[in-house]
Structure 1
């Protein structure tokens, strides 16, 4: 029986999560339906625009994403510290970009005078909205529901478009995070619909490559800030250049179907993460099949199980690849 979503999200263990949503009726989210010949390619833009819009509102950062023909992958970072720093006004302004809120919250944003009882209700609403704005379930709901409505309207049908539950995996350490991000960014190559990362439309790696050409990082994606250190700024604990090189070299091997050797340029970051080159290629191509609800080195999983009072280690044998 699946665990409740609130039991799967544990900020004391990790702020990073891999989420996957699939179309429930084997419908085409995007791409071209070979049976009818109808193209749904434009829907990729719907998903990407909505995803990045939500990243500008929620205290949830998008680390990686890829929009496939009948499913989508996102790697998310819950930024609880950021949400706690928001003022009452900022929380309300962000929430009102998604929903109307209440009459009192609307009046508060407009700067109107409110009686004490109304201010108490505003404060209560703000805490509810603040919690929602750092909740992955709310993030995925706000992502999936508008897409479902648009697709159903276009298909002239009703009913579910997405599966009832999105899949969620906790990424417990740097090795799990790097492996999952690479897996997500390389999905179009694994599906043989693109030849290299820089031409993989509607993926985070394509957006990062385009920005890197101008010596920048995309403003709506969680930035790379370098290797872990004291007084580290908010961002991913890798060098952008290392990650792009890692994805590029892995992508070359996936395309050429040569699983036996990895270019020597891959070694520095893999050595720091304590992942062998052979294991890296395995997890970069089969992450979904080789991992369970939590992903990380064995010691990270043991700590997670202890802190969440789990009696068994979820598919721990597969995670030896990350050690």
Structure 2
């Protein structure tokens, strides 16, 4: 049996959560970052760090040559997918042990559906330029998988949160706001469920498109209010969306309104650790790990 070796292009917040969930001492995980200053954080998560700035180095090429499972969490740019731009030929021809590819995308590819439910068969009608590029990147990875005869799992993620990135932290540091746009809802996903989903799909080398998101699309102001109740403090006042001072990117998020179902990944056998923001905030508050996502002990895989 081939020894499992995992390579993560873009070992950021989600990639490090995935690596921390590794339970096999014989599994080696390589991961890239653009910054040498982040090497320590990668090592702490159990990742052998490598620098990737869009150019394929000999160290990356050597690690890819023995990779069995490839996870890609790098956003595309106007030139296309940076990983494919640098490594398409190597992935296509020089990774003999490769069994499975995962590409982390976004539910933003669906665009606006007026608050209605969408599943993986829904029309992709992205609004923002970044989501248009994501749709193209998804298709490029699916085509590569088809060309090399390897399964590709596309994970469409909703708003990512977890220890170090959540409403509790925002309340503590004074950045939490309760913006109110009537009828607006968002889905969310805890980083541990991104990790759990990746391991679940990798263990079966399962391909396909999956929404990786919680059970409870909810107004963003409700999340802040719930976190404030846990902390025993008054929530910040509500701010009408029309009068809020927002960056163009932040405002663009409110231009898309949909409820995203996770039925497909559940049908594939995955059980969510945190099916909604309440259970996640409750757990983080009770454990006290809500402030720092990097200092946690590794999580258990389901």
TM over 0.5: no
Instruction: State which structure, 1 or 2, has the greater radius of gyration over its C-alpha atoms.
Output: 1
Greater percentage in strand? 2
Greater percentage in helix? 1
Normalised by the length of structure 2, the TM-score is: 0.26
